[in-house]
Amino acid sequence: MAKNKFNKNWIHDHINDPYVKLAQKEGYRARAAYKLKEIDEAEKLIKPGQVIVDLGCTPGSWGQYTRRKLSGGEEGGIKGTMIGLDILPMEPIAGMHFIQGDFREDAVLDQLAEILGERQADLVLSDMAPNLSGIPTADAARMEHLIEIAIEFSQAHLKPSGALLVKCFKDMGFTQTVELFRKEFKVVKQIKPKASRDKSSEIFLLGRGLKHPA
């Protein structure tokens, strides 16, 4: 009974969520687009001409927002390079290179290297989150692991002056994650966008400037 009530409350909140309605109106695949939009507008992360890698990019709302920024809001081609990676399939986004697979595997990294050539990324984005088990210690460890691999990826593929933006949760090993970011990045910022639900412990970490570039 309690579970059904929780589901009904979630569905009610979701249907009445202004960001869900806005996403439907503006053609975004998920309300998450507005989290990136808000962070980008405050931090000036996305600029035409950049190389941007989106880890865990499915369903693609962050890619849609990035595409609009790189195209200047026009329907034509984009100025820059967008690469999305995910183990799940994704509906294509015009101008975005999509690689399906685990980005820790050589076959996937070979495809990425082919697209990048000699270039490094200006920005790495990660909206990844684990499937939650409900066991706090296990969930925290899974979340921490995803952030660690996003940092490792950035060390290998990010420009020394580049930036990494990741999703975190305040109740999932957050203190350790902040420490990890401070070890690897010169500037670290915690951001809670308005589009992130008040009830959620979700928060984003932005790291700029690698301390130990590859």
179-188: string of b/e by CB count within 10 Å (b at 16+)?
Answer: ebbeebbeeb
What was the pLDDT predicted at 10?
47
- The Cα 67–Cα 93 span in angstroms is 8
Annotated binding site: 60, 62, 86, 102, 127
Selecting among 35, 37, 69, 167, the annotated active-site residue is: 167
In 3D, which of 19, 17, 53 has the Cα closest to residue 35? 19
What was the pLDDT predicted at 213?
81
| Tokens at 128, concatenated | 């990844």
What was the pLDDT predicted at 15?
62
Q: Are 149 and 53 in contact (CB under 8 A)?
A: no
What was the pLDDT predicted at 97?
97
For the beta carbon of residue 76, count every other beta carbon within 10 angstroms.
9
Asked if 167 is an active-site residue, the reply is yes
What was the pLDDT predicted at 132?
80
Q: Are 213 and 184 in contact (CB under 8 A)?
A: no
| Tokens at 189, concatenated | 């910022």
Domain annotation for the chain: domains and CATH numbers = 30-210 (3.40.50.150)
What was the pLDDT predicted at 11?
57
Strands 96-100 and 185-191: unpaired
Annotated binding site for S-adenosyl-L-methionine: 60, 62, 86, 102, 127
List the pLDDT tens digit at each of the 214 positions of the chain.
445 555 666 455 656 788 899 999 998 999 999 999 999 999 999 999 999 999 999 999 999 999 999 997 666 689 999 999 999 999 999 999 999 999 889 999 999 999 999 999 999 999 998 888 888 889 889 999 999 999 999 999 999 999 999 999 998 889 999 999 999 999 999 999 999 988 889 999 999 999 988 7
Q: Give 90-116 pLDDT, tens digit per residue.
A: 999 999 999 999 988 999 999 999 999
